Amino acid sequence: MVFSSISFLYYFLPLCILCYFLIPAKFRNKVLLIFSLFFYFYGESKYIIVLIFSCFLNYYAGNLIIKYPKKKKLLLITNLVINFGLLFYFKYFNFFITNINNLLNTDFPLLHIIMPIGISFFTFQATSYVIDIYKGEIKPAKNVFDFATYLTLFPQLIAGPIVRYETVAEEMENRKTTIPLVASGLKRFIIGLGKKVLIANLLGAFTTSLDTLSSPTILSFWLKALAYTFQIYYDFSGYSDMAIGLGLVFGFHFLENFNYPLTAKSITDFWRRWHISLSTWFRDYLYIPLGGNRLGKKKQIRNILIVWLTTGLWHGASWNFVLWGLYFAILLLLEKFVWQKFLDKHKIFAHISTFILIIFSFIIFSTESITGIGLFFQNLFNFTLPFTNVETNFYLSNYLIILILAFIGMGPWIKNLYNKIANSKTGKKVLIIAEPMILMILLFIITGYIIDDSYNPFLYFRF
């Protein structure tokens, strides 16, 4: 079940909200747990046992660490081995065997393994919980049901953001739900849904059209790279908006996961703004434990390479993701040790060059074969191809408005304009009436697109 589906929007979610607010507050965690497990079961019935096992494993691991402090290191290592062992089996086992076969010319059979949806996300959440207990930074959940509610919360279960227990620990036991908070959450949800359905999905259709051109052009390859960059941004940031909005409806305050990353002034700045929950997870649980930047330049370079190769692999069991991670590692090292001062002095160049480098990164991200990546970059500068033609111009004219909207929406300009209007007396009065109407019209349009459109996947589900 995806958020941008009729079954979720008009059946699952209203029923969940109704049940949640009709019952006494002390039972609300259990209501969320039941609905979250059903949500996961609906989309991944075969492997719901993996999710339930993770709930019990990590809850009791945290309790045992508190109960047996002298053995806490052994308990932590055992927990990490089991957590990441499951992740390795489901996500990387066949990739590992394939590469062993290629390297040693063996013929080990591949297993028929289907990766459970969201396993990367709930594994990282669970391990952060146990590690934080080990470090003494949080107390264990009150009971296994509260922990299971935290780990399985359907707003962020299958595509993030990665919510640490410390963020919601107090709210798991004591949270307030008010009409303004619910209204704010629903507003955030509808905006995220609009980003997903009205921008990301249409850009996905645009890239599909460019793939089927009878005569590709240089412009078509540049447009495809640009459109895919916008598509994955609006797809994933839209999902994060929906998750954060639904969290507010139920009284949870999840941290922001995106902060206009496509307006970044450097790759370092980009990763402070893009998928913030993931980048901070790797910083706190891998980069800093490895020594961070405290052990000299050589080890800092080593640590950056390890973190970004791991980040690449986290996204998928394929060499293009390894290359993608290495690409960012090299850029970050170059910024840190070579050209950061130059970027600080030339801000316009910094923004433009960063945006182009981000576009290049998503060419690597979206192209599975190394050969395909090379061909794509070659075609961006293949002057034996025509720059454009009638076919390319036709599709560009059809999707130009969406590209313009995507460009405008990638920065804080609309938000700044809204805040300016909301902070004026007249604007505040107008918004009280106009905003609910606009959101209802937007939801109506979105619903029409969902009913009519067959292209409606979330890209990050497969990561």
Residues annotated as part of the active site: 315
Contact 153, 37 (CB under 8 A): no
Q: What is the distance between the terminal CA atoms of the chain, rounded to a whole angstrom?
A: 16
Spatial separation of the C-alpha atoms in residues 263 and 352, rounded to whole Å: 9
Amino acid identity, residue 281? W
- Exposed/middle/buried for 64, CB within 10 Å: 0-12, 13-18, 19+? buried
Spatial separation of the C-alpha atoms in residues 213 and 23, rounded to whole Å: 56
Q: Which of 314, 287, 282, 369 is nearest to 88 (CA)?
A: 314
Spatial separation of the C-alpha atoms in residues 32 and 88, rounded to whole Å: 29
Which residue reads 């227990």 in tokens?
A: 165
Spatial separation of the C-alpha atoms in residues 95 and 81, rounded to whole Å: 19
Exposure string for 270-294, b = 16+ CB within 10 A, e = fewer: bbebbbbbbbbbbeeeebeebeeee
- Phi (first) and psi of residue 31, to 5 degrees: -65, -45
Contact 3, 43 (CB under 8 A): no
Q: Give the count of beta carbons closer than 10 Å to the beta carbon of residue 164.
A: 23
Which residue reads 């008009």 in tokens?
A: 10
Q: What is the 8-class DSSP label of residue 215?
A: S
Name the token pair of 8. 């979720």
